[in-house]
Chain A
Amino acid sequence: MTGPDDSKLITQVAQGNESAFLTIYDRYVSRVYGLTLHILGEPMLAEEATQDTFLKLWSRAHQYLAEQGPLLPWLLTIARRVALDRLRLEARRPMLSDSNDPDNAWHVLPDSESATEESRWRSLHFTVQALHPDQRKVIELAYYQGLSQSEIAETLGWPLGTVKTRLRAAMEKLREVWNDQ
């Protein structure tokens, strides 16, 4: 990453500096759009959610506290919430069609990014991809579609206990792998 660091930029954004805001946009828009597109599945909706996310960043920049963590996770947390809200607004539920099948969702290749950033997300991405398909499916529906365990059980027609076991196993696996990194 070149240019001013995030904490300096976000401070400037909180003071109404549009140039700093656009620098953050250029730096992270592909991450935000990647997440919203993954959740919403439609480019138009994903762009709207991305726009809403950055407008929230513009209006809430003063709420960001650098000591609580880096800017990107904070921004992506906003993006996830915006996209899930949009998903509920549209009353959409995962169709499990070819285009939206959680099994397929992890096979999209990224755009080019800086080497460090790319290796970081690739590592996280492939860890998820390496999960057992049933575990990955549960993570997809819970985290990226905003469903509760009982809703997942209803959607997939699995017993609730099975959903709980698979979700717990997936999370334990991810924790184990990411702790080692």
Chain B
Amino acid sequence: MSRDEHHPHLENIPAYAIGALDAEEGIALEAHLKTCASCQTELAAYRAVSESLLMATPPKQPSAELRKRLQSRLPSAQKSARPRFAWSFGQLAVGMALVLLLVLNAYSILQIRSLQLTQTQLARQYRTGQTLISMLSYPTTERLAISSDNVVGSLLLDKDRNIVALIVWNMPQLEEDKTYQVWLIDPQGERVSAGIFRPESGQAYTTQIAFPKQSLSDFVGVGVTVEPAGGSDQPTGERIFKVDF
């Protein structure tokens, strides 16, 4: 058996060493090289030829500019070349456009929030109005007058559906840390909270509707006091008005 029969890829080693072997033959040779020490030695010898070919081309001097260009790519040159204010006109324009966009965006968000707030208020007013209309149209709803100093209005009492509604004119505006609180008064004079409210700005009257957990039949009157924001467990502040059922 000849040497080539033992090493079927031997003749391909020179081409492989300089990267000229076609892909399929390269794969076959690489598989053979894994198990053949003799062919590995042969390859090492041709690798040395390949390395010598690297060294065999004539040296040539490039232009002096190349060294300068290369130096300008090094970190020290990059650092010193970086201007304090390196924005071009185009970059500045883009930057300003971005700032303007952000401002417009923020303004739009504020506008949307304001509209959402208005929408919520209108929806609440609509529901309140609908409730008041339904109460007024209900045959057993009682209407009691509210009258105290400058404050006037009506109290609607619907004991069947257990709803009490206040429509009050001229309620004074409150400081930020204050609120009005509605109290239901039982026959023993005990007060049970029926909610808090603030007069709506820009409106001469204020409406407040309460749906008490206890039956309205257990109470004999309604009062409103000024309390710290968030409300109190029992009345602590100035009474605005009181209505007996």
> Number of contact residues on B: which range applies?
35 or more
> With the chains together, A176 CA to B227 CA distance in Å?
108
Across the interface, do B70 and A30 meet the contact criterion of CB distance under 8 Å? Answer: no
Q: Does B51 contact A (CB under 8 A)?
A: yes
Distance in angstroms from A126 CB to nearest chain B CB is 9
Across the interface, do A121 and B20 meet the contact criterion of CB distance under 8 Å? Answer: no
Against B, the Cβ 8 Å flags (1 = close, 0 = not) of A36-56 are: 011000010011001100110
Distance in angstroms from B39 CB to nearest chain A CB is 15
> Number of contact residues on A: which range applies?
35 or more
Against B, the Cβ 8 Å flags (1 = close, 0 = not) of A162-181 are: 00100110011011001100
Of B20, B57, B62, B74, the most chain A CB neighbours within 10 A belong to: B57
Residues of A within 8 Å of B69, CB to CB, are: 51
> With the chains together, A146 CA to B50 CA distance in Å?
13
Q: Does B149 contact A (CB under 8 A)?
A: no
**Residues of A70-120 whose CB lies within 8 A of B:** 72-73, 76-77, 80, 108-111, 113, 117, 120
Against A, the Cβ 8 Å flags (1 = close, 0 = not) of B40-79 are: 0000011011111111111111110011011101111000
Q: Does A133 contact B (CB under 8 A)?
A: no
Smallest Cβ-Cβ distance to A173: which chain B residue: B49
> With the chains together, A171 CA to B49 CA distance in Å?
7
Q: Does B17 contact A (CB under 8 A)?
A: yes
Distance in angstroms from A156 CB to nearest chain B CB is 13
Residues of B within 8 Å of A25, CB to CB, are: 67, 70
Q: Does A18 contact B (CB under 8 A)?
A: yes
Across the interface, do A47 and B49 meet the contact criterion of CB distance under 8 Å? Answer: no
Known: A47-B62, A51-B66, A164-B11. A120 touches B55 (CB 8 A): yes
Across the interface, do B60 and A110 meet the contact criterion of CB distance under 8 Å? Answer: yes
> With the chains together, A175 CA to B55 CA distance in Å?
14
Smallest Cβ-Cβ distance to A126: which chain B residue: B56
Across the interface, do B53 and A139 meet the contact criterion of CB distance under 8 Å? Answer: yes
Q: Does A58 contact B (CB under 8 A)?
A: yes
Pick the contact of B57: A55, A125, A127 (CB < 8 A).
A125
> With the chains together, A121 CA to B11 CA distance in Å?
28
Smallest Cβ-Cβ distance to B59: which chain A residue: A30
Q: Does A14 contact B (CB under 8 A)?
A: no
Across the interface, do B59 and A110 meet the contact criterion of CB distance under 8 Å? Answer: yes
Across the interface, do A178 and B21 meet the contact criterion of CB distance under 8 Å? Answer: no
Across the interface, do A148 and B67 meet the contact criterion of CB distance under 8 Å? Answer: no
Q: Does A143 contact B (CB under 8 A)?
A: yes
- CB<8 Å pairs between A and B, sample of 6: A34-B60, A72-B55, A113-B59, A121-B59, A167-B14, A175-B49
Q: A33-B62, A47-B62, A69-B51 are in contact. List 5 more A-B contacts (CB 8 A).
A: A21-B74, A54-B70, A76-B55, A171-B49, A174-B52
